[in-house]
Homo-oligomer: A and B are copies of this chain.
């Protein structure tokens, strides 16, 4: 028996009827050319032969004297964890997203290890999908991705011999498919949970202590973005228990071209896409606030030397100013970049205790409002936008090529919309999850994200033919002028709009998908 870390435990204790605290992941796969019609059924049958599980898939929650422990499950019942399902006719992406929205709602049963995996067939374009949900007390999002990728291979044939997801040990093993090491914004600092994990104090006791150092921290940094003072929007209200999930892939080369031309990281461009999309969404509702929107952006505080040691929730938050009070898209991007650069620098200089307070607070749903004593009207930030690195090469699972990896994260009171992004080598995969009642027609954000990117591309196209500053994402401090000609950027834009450039044709074109399947669609091949 293994006692849960305090932060993992908080995901169990704070879970409620309206706020299930599991995370999800939708994966799309292209079966091989020679696949039979029964590819999905045969695969389901093959997977059903499995009779074992590895950590963390075999971790059963046990409660003793009010404390939670993980125990190895001795009664593996695959029929509970794995299901083969099918879309109704006509099997569009619209039907897929509706299904995943429903699947994501239900609570995971604590009488079983808290995960479920669905193999989905019946997509009209011939692809198959896998939707996985797992309780956030068991893994964080990064580990969730790793758990999936551990069963994939860059070699199609080799992938057929890999075991099902749940048979691959993610915790102790460093084998299998290794994720390209993420570049954490914060390196070599103490993870908050290293200090709190073995504490015998009650969560409330810890929370009281945290409050003091948190308030100190805040007082010393009056100019640190807008945390805790985000304007009230539809995203900041009590949530229902019903979710809507939307997802779409955007071309990595398009985003990198904009980043290179306008100065900033890909992450800055993605935040700017989100900013433009959120602003337009609120405008159409007639509820755009005057104050700038902000985003809570998780940053990894995982110790680089120790990143395969456990399936931990090693995450802190920073607050990005989304600068939606700035009308010009390029100026808005610059303001966002400036805010993010400032935040990164601040966090880098935090003492371990400050970071402990900071990140532990952020990790507890609802804890912010409680501790700041402000009631629930004020939000920490307008939305949560996470950006995590994904695989950097083509991967195969059971012979089928991975063509999309879309996360569904937490929706909580005051945080009715969550945007999570996975960067892969050819596409940036964005998963949006929201309270269906609080955020009506949320799927429209897919179109607005695309519009936002197009706006930035249009601005790039208008740039004078001079040398532009580019942004080195490997070494974020080294922003320096570089010999990139504006006409290169311009020609790239023209190609992407026509949908016929060499890079575009090989990757997901959200332009095409948008025209093809209207507001609620996405994920088009």
> How does the 8 Å CB contact mask read for A79-109 relative to B, with 1 for contact and 0 for none?
1100111111110000100110010011101
Q: Does A110 contact B (CB under 8 A)?
A: yes
Which residue in B87, B95, B241 is a CB contact (below 8 Å) of A111? B241
Closest chain B residue to A20 by CB distance? B107
Q: Does A164 contact B (CB under 8 A)?
A: no
Q: How far is the CA of A107 from the CA of B79 in the complex (A)?
A: 20
Q: Does A282 contact B (CB under 8 A)?
A: no
Q: How far is the CA of A378 from the CA of B218 in the complex (A)?
A: 57
Closest chain B residue to A41 by CB distance? B89
Q: Does A362 contact B (CB under 8 A)?
A: no
Which residues of B are found within 8 Å of A371, using beta-carbon distances?
A: none
Q: How far is the CA of A436 from the CA of B83 in the complex (A)?
A: 15
Q: Does A44 contact B (CB under 8 A)?
A: yes
A18–B111 touching, CB < 8 Å: yes
Which residues of B are found within 8 Å of A122, using beta-carbon distances?
A: 86, 88
> How does the 8 Å CB contact mask read for A237-276 relative to B, with 1 for contact and 0 for none?
0001110000000000000000000000000000000000
Q: How far is the CA of A40 from the CA of B83 in the complex (A)?
A: 23
Q: How many residues of A contact B (CB 8 A)?
A: 36
Which residues of B are found within 8 Å of A111, using beta-carbon distances?
A: 18, 240-242, 437
A241–B83 touching, CB < 8 Å: no
- Please classify the interface of chain A as helix (H, G, I), strand (E, B), loop, or mixed, using the class held by over half of its residues: loop
Which residues of B are found within 8 Å of A102, using beta-carbon distances?
A: 83
A80–B44 touching, CB < 8 Å: no
Q: How far is the CA of A122 from the CA of B80 in the complex (A)?
A: 22
Closest chain B residue to A242 by CB distance? B109
Closest chain B residue to A435 by CB distance? B111
Q: Does A17 contact B (CB under 8 A)?
A: yes
Q: How far is the CA of A240 from the CA of B111 in the complex (A)?
A: 6
How many copies of the polypeptide does the oligomer hold?
2
B242–A112 touching, CB < 8 Å: yes
A107–B110 touching, CB < 8 Å: no
Q: How far is the CA of A242 from the CA of B107 in the complex (A)?
A: 10
Which residues of B are found within 8 Å of A112, using beta-carbon distances?
A: 240, 242, 437
Closest chain B residue to A119 by CB distance? B88
B105–A83 touching, CB < 8 Å: no
Q: Does A140 contact B (CB under 8 A)?
A: no
Q: Does A77 contact B (CB under 8 A)?
A: yes
Q: Does A450 contact B (CB under 8 A)?
A: no
Q: How far is the CA of A84 from the CA of B95 in the complex (A)?
A: 9
Q: Does A169 contact B (CB under 8 A)?
A: no
Choose among A79, A84, A86 the residue with the greatest number of B CB atoms under 10 Å from its CB: A86
Q: How far is the CA of A83 from the CA of B75 in the complex (A)?
A: 33
A17–B88 touching, CB < 8 Å: no
Closest chain B residue to A37 by CB distance? B89
B89–A86 touching, CB < 8 Å: yes
Q: How far is the CA of A410 from the CA of B99 in the complex (A)?
A: 26
Which residues of B are found within 8 Å of A437, using beta-carbon distances?
A: 75, 77, 111-112
Residues A80 and B40 in contact in the complex (CB < 8 Å), given A85-B88, A107-B17, A121-B88: no
Q: Does A38 contact B (CB under 8 A)?
A: yes
Which residues of B are found within 8 Å of A79, using beta-carbon distances?
A: 98, 436
Which residue in B88, B106, B240 is a CB contact (below 8 Å) of A84? B88
Supplied contacts A86-B86, A107-B241, 15 more A-B pairs, CB within 8 Å: A17-B107, A18-B109, A18-B111, A41-B88, A41-B89, A41-B90, A75-B437, A77-B437, A86-B87, A86-B88, A105-B106, A105-B109, A110-B241, A111-B241, A112-B242
> CB within 8 Å of B: which residues of A?
17-18, 38, 40-41, 44, 75, 77, 79-80, 83-90, 95, 98-99, 102, 105-107, 109-112, 121-122, 240-242, 436-437
